[in-house]
Structure 1
């Protein structure tokens, strides 16, 4: 669990850094006369702004959740509910941040390359779904194991009868 939290926190930090940089350097640039973004009135720019903000917030939340796992006292009671819940919500917020980052990338790509051929921006927007599906496929076994051990195996490590007789 500790190694998973370390790796996921590293990925969340990279996502937060990349999305922060993308939000500061907006696609299309800024109009010199009005100091407003050039594509402010386009729907794809609104999608970019919302998804970049959501990606930054969810990746920052994931960083804090994984940090709380790493800073945990690792007592026996923590492994029953606290740490599995934190890992579940950490993986969920990491997925949300990856999804929002991919949407932000697709909308920025669409803003930049929507002139001329529509085949390239639309195909990139569709191909953005592949990493999300791959993440779900690769993390499904971990996700199901955590949920199963948290909710279905309550008595696995807590026997109902006293095992030591005096």
Structure 2
């Protein structure tokens, strides 16, 4: 009976670790995604004056695209260990 309880505890702890890793993956990627979304919202709500096209809008577009690329990279970096944790048991 002790062996069964020990195995149950290990299985439960492993499952909870995987769930925690997945949550961290989502939160880690969401932080950088929000920054990109805010930049694109600033572009959409811009007044589109002539001087904005020379400096403000291109800068916002570059920052937004950089944040978008960084959020995709962060999501893949965070997702890979979570996936390897899940597949390691199999």
Structure 1 residue 66 corresponds to structure 2 residue 40: yes
Task: State the aligned residue count.
Answer: 76
| Offset at residue 53 of structure 1 (A) | 2.6
Corresponding residue of 1:88: 62
Q: Which runs of 4+ in 1 moved over 4 A?
A: none
User: Normalized per residue, which structure has more helix?
Assistant: 2
Q: Could you tell me which runs of 5 or more consecutive residues in structure 1 were left unpaired when the two chains were aligned.
A: 1-30, 117-166
Distance in structure 2 (CA, Å) of the matches to 1:89 and 1:110: 32
| Offset at residue 107 of structure 1 (A) | 1.7
RMSD: 2.5
Q: Which of 82, 103, 128 does residue 77 from structure 2 map onto?
A: 103
Distance in structure 2 (CA, Å) of the matches to 1:105 and 1:58: 14
Aligned ranges 1:117-136 → 2 under 5 Å: none
Corresponding residue of 1:136: none
Distance in structure 2 (CA, Å) of the matches to 1:113 and 1:85: 42
Higher RCO (C-alpha under 8 Å, 6+ residues apart): 2
TM-score of the pair, normalised by structure 1: 0.40
TM-score of the pair, normalised by structure 2: 0.70
Q: Could you tell me which runs of 5 or more consecutive residues in structure 2 were left unpaired when the two chains were aligned.
A: 1-11
